[in-house]
Amino acid sequence: MPDVVIGQNVVIARGTQIAIAASDFTIPQGKITAIIGPNGSGKSTLLHAIAGLLPVSSGTLTVLDNTPLNSQSQISYVLQYTTVPTGTPLTVAEAVAMARYPGLGLFGRASKEDKKNVASALERLKITDLAKRHLTELSGGQRQRVYVAQGIAQDHAILLLDEPLTGLDITSAKTIDSIIHEEPERGCSVVLTTHDLEEARAADHVILTAGRVVAFGAPEDVLTTENLTNAYGLGALHEHLATDLHLPTEHHLGDHSH
Amino acid sequence: MEWFLDPFALGFQQRALAGGILAGLMTAVVGTWLVLRGMSFFGDAFVHGIVPGIAAAVVFDINPLLGAAAAALVMVLAIELVNRQTALSEDTSIGLLFVGMLALGVIIISRVDSYSGSLTTILFGDALGVTTQDLLIQAILAVVVISAATLFYRPLLALSFNADKAQLWGLNPGRAHAALLVLIAAAVIGSFQSVGTLLVFGLLVGPPATAALVSRTVPRMMLTAAIISVFSVWLGLTLSYHLNTAGSATMAIVPIVLFFIVLTFTRLRTLRREKVLSHA
């Protein structure tokens, strides 16, 4: 399976701070990739760079055989519901329909295909009955479902999700989780950030970050005690935490792991 | 009936109404985006920032619109310069330019013999002194501003939603933001002669903020803001005639009073709904 994202010696800065030091990594096509690491470890920074929203300071980042900026039209990025202000008076249907703007330009009218895409996204996220509701009238979980619906309503080859399941009610989390697993069946590559080790273990591919890419590859190769200790700095004093988390004890790394 | 018709019986009164309505329509459309983008402080600073341009125009006897446009450009560029060259927050750079430009305007106008009269006219406008030529320029600006706001509807809506998403949707948030700054400048420049630089801010923020309390979509918010603006201009001029108060100031205070009336009603309605739900 070819890789949709290839990072070689990639350095990413936020202002004057290096957020990701020189790192290599890949993201396979048609799979679920989880980016996991402590707070401030560069997970969202990596997503931003893949989306072309942050430039790479040095190294090479290839997305869909092109630069991130040139691939933007094929990338859909779902932000955390907490980061999107709700002040704009928008109904759920309008918010999801905005995802079709790239093909419509300034004045184009939505085609039957566009409307079908929006309706399908609402249905898949089980929010059709909320279509006429205002964004401010929704719970956090419902709003996150709206933003994921917006994400899948857009034409895309890669779906990026920033902590899509954090702090959600069970219904919303289950619905979004099913979308995450359905998207690869449609040929789409999914990349998500998470704090949840179990969520990362359930992915096909994992990138572990701690101010750099500590390791990447299959979950069983990356989420080892040694790598997690490196990334989270648990150290010998906190060995019992690793045991409590049922971390794998094998210290070997896979072919792709660094 | 006379109470309604008398304030607009004469030509200059009708021109004041027409000028106010044009200003109200422009500011309602632009002000909607200003409120949605959370740029009210910028708007406040901006309307003060054009004072030195108008003051210089008075001193050197050139068209005040040109002076206002030049000052608007200087203001925006200087804010951008401070933002790019320092780590200070944007409101600090806006605040610096707000005070600096207003002070410069007062210094320039203080060189004029009729200092207080000129300053009062710049800050508070001269609704009853609007000429037919002023109206013509205002009408052209109003058509340009409302057309451009329609043209940029999708980029501005996407920008209000989230700048990163706007970029990913190919709607160039930087260009949309720049377009919004130009629209704000055009609306302010096209309105200050009717309502004054200080009070045009009342029309920029008051009607859209009131409309936001009762609107579920952006187009409805714009339409509601435009209706509130026109009503405020008419009621303001009518009240100023009967109460013998300053026309521009009375026009500017109406939408602010309306905001608090609508806020009270919407809060009461919410409380009543919550009470019904708690009993159910």
How high is the mean pLDDT of chain A?
86
Q: Give A98's contacts in chain B (Cβ within 8 Å).
A: 157-158, 161, 165, 169
Interface A-B: count of C-beta contacts within 8 A: 71
Asked, for residue A74, whether it belongs to a domain, the answer is yes
Say what the pLDDT of residue B129 is.
77
Q: What does residue A10 show for φ and ψ, rounded to 5 degrees?
A: -75, 130
Nearest by CB to residue A53, choosing from B38, B157, B167, is B167
Q: pLDDT at position B13, please?
A: 84
pLDDT band of residue A52 (cuts 50, 70, 90) is very high
Kindly state whether residue A175 falls inside one of the protein's structural domains.
yes
A contact test, residue of B152, B169, B171, B180 with most A CBs within 10 A: B169
Q: Give the integer Cα–Cα distance in Å for A90 and B101.
A: 37
Give pLDDT tens digits for B171-199: 889 899 889 988 998 888 888 877 777 77
Of residues A35 and A253, more confidently modeled? A35
> DSSP state, A72?
G
What span, in angstroms and rounded, lies between the C-alpha atoms of B222 and B29? Answer: 5
CA distance A54 to chain B (A): 10
**What confidence tens digit (pLDDT) does each residue in B211-225 have?**
999 988 899 999 999
Range of the domain at A230: 3-244
**Spatial contact of A34 and A200, defined as CB atoms under 8 Å apart:** yes
Q: Report the pLDDT value the prediction gives residue A14, as an integer from 0 to 100.
A: 85
Q: Residue A87's closest chain B neighbor by CA? A: B36
> Considering only alpha carbons, which residue of chain A is nearest residue B170?
A102
What is the percent of chain A where pLDDT is above 90? 64
Chain A: residue whose CA lies nearest to B86: A15
B141 domain-assigned = yes
Q: What is the 3-state secondary structure (H, E, C) of chain B?
A: CHHHHHHHCCHHHHHHHHHHHHHHHHHHHHHHHHHHCCCHHHHHHHHHHCHHHHHHHHHHCCCHHHHHHHHHHHHHHHHHHHHHHCCCCHHHHHHHHHHHHHHHHHHHHCCCCCHHHHHHHHHHCCHHHCCHHHHHHHHHHHHHHHHHHHHCHHHHHHHHHCHHHHHHCCCCHHHHHHHHHHHHHHHHHHHHHHHHHHHHHHHHHHHHHHHHHHCCCHHHHHHHHHHHHHHHHHHHHHHHHHHCCCHHHHHHHHHHHHHHHHHHHHHHHHHHHHHHHHHC
Q: B112-160, pLDDT tens digit by residue?
A: 766 666 667 777 777 777 888 888 988 999 999 999 988 899 999 999 9
Residue in the block written with tokens 């794998």 = A248
B1 part of a folded domain: no
pLDDT band at residue B55 using 50, 70 and 90 as cut-offs: confident
B192 at interface of A, judged by CB pairs closer than 8 A:
no
B-chain residues within 8 Å CB-CB of A104? 154
When pLDDT is cut at 50, 70 and 90, the band that residue A24 belongs to is very high
The better pLDDT of the pair A63, B62 is held by: A63
Percent of chain A at pLDDT > 70 equals 88
Q: Exposure pattern of A147-179 as b/e (b: 16+ CB <10 Å)?
A: bbbbbbbbebbbbbbbbbbbebeeebbebbeeb
Domain count, chain A: 1
Task: Name the pLDDT band for A185 (thresholds 50, 70, 90).
Answer: very high
Q: Residue A71: inside a domain, yes or no?
A: yes
Give the pLDDT score at A251: 38
On whether residue A255 sits in a domain, the answer given is no
Confidence (pLDDT) at A63: 95
| Residue B248 resides in a domain | yes
Please indicate if any CB of chain A lies within 8 Å of the CB of B85: no
Give how many domains chain B has, as a whole number: 1
Most confident of A54-63, B46-55, B87-96: A54-63
The answer to whether residue A171 is domain-embedded is: yes
Asked whether residue A249 is domain-assigned, the answer is no
B218 and chain A: CB distance < 8 Å anywhere? Answer: yes
Instruction: Determine the pLDDT at residue B118.
Output: 67
Task: For residue B155, give the chain A residue with the closest CA.
Answer: A106
Residue A211 inside a domain? The answer is: yes
> pLDDT-based confidence at A244, cuts 50/70/90?
very low
pLDDT at position A241 over 50: no
Q: Is residue B6 part of a domain?
A: no
Q: Tell me if A230 is assigned to some domain.
A: yes
Confirm whether B123 is domain-assigned: yes
- Domain presence at residue B171: yes
Chain A residues touching residue B224 (CB < 8 angstroms):
none
Query: Partners of B15 in the beta sheet?
Result: none
pLDDT at residue A254 in the model: 37
Does the distance separating the beta carbons of B217 and A91 come in below 8 Å?
A: yes
Residues in chain A: 258
B157 has a chain A CB within 8 A of its CB: yes
Pick from A59, A58, A64: nearest CA to A76: A64
Q: How far apart are CA B200 and CA B223, in angstroms?
A: 18
Question: CB distance from B221 to chain A under 8 Å?
Answer: yes
Residue A214 has pLDDT above 70, yes or no: yes
Q: pLDDT digit string (tens) for B27-45?
A: 999 999 999 988 888 888 8
**Number of Cβ within a 10 Å radius of residue B270:** 10
Residue A136, pLDDT score: 84
B220 assigned to some structural domain: yes
Asked whether the predicted pLDDT for residue A89 surpasses 70, the reply is: yes
- Gap from A231 CA to chain B (nearest CA, Å): 29
Which pLDDT does position B5 carry in this prediction?
Answer: 81
Q: Å from A208 to nearest chain B CA?
A: 25
What is the per-residue pLDDT across A152-162, written as a single tens digit (0 to 9) for each?
999 999 999 99
**How many residues does the structure list for chain B?**
280
Q: What is the pLDDT of residue B262?
A: 95
The whole-number average pLDDT for the span B84-94 is 84
A101: domain CATH number is: 3.40.50.300
pLDDT at B117: 63
Residue A106 is nearest to which of B151, B165, B212, comparing CB atoms? B151
List the domain range (segments joined by +) for residue B87. Answer: 12-279
Whether residue A234 has pLDDT greater than 70: no
Residue A256: pLDDT band with limits 50, 70, 90: very low
Query: What ipTM was estimated for this complex?
Result: 0.81
Taking the C-alpha atoms of residue B213 and residue A243, their distance in angstroms, rounded to an integer, is: 53
Domain holding B66: CATH number? 1.10.3470.10
Measured between CB atoms, which of B158, B162, B212 is closest to A101? B158
Q: Is A143 helix (H, G, I), strand (E, B) or coil?
A: helix
For residue A242, what pLDDT is reported? Answer: 45
β-bridge partners, A207: A35, A216
Tokens 């619905």 correspond to A175
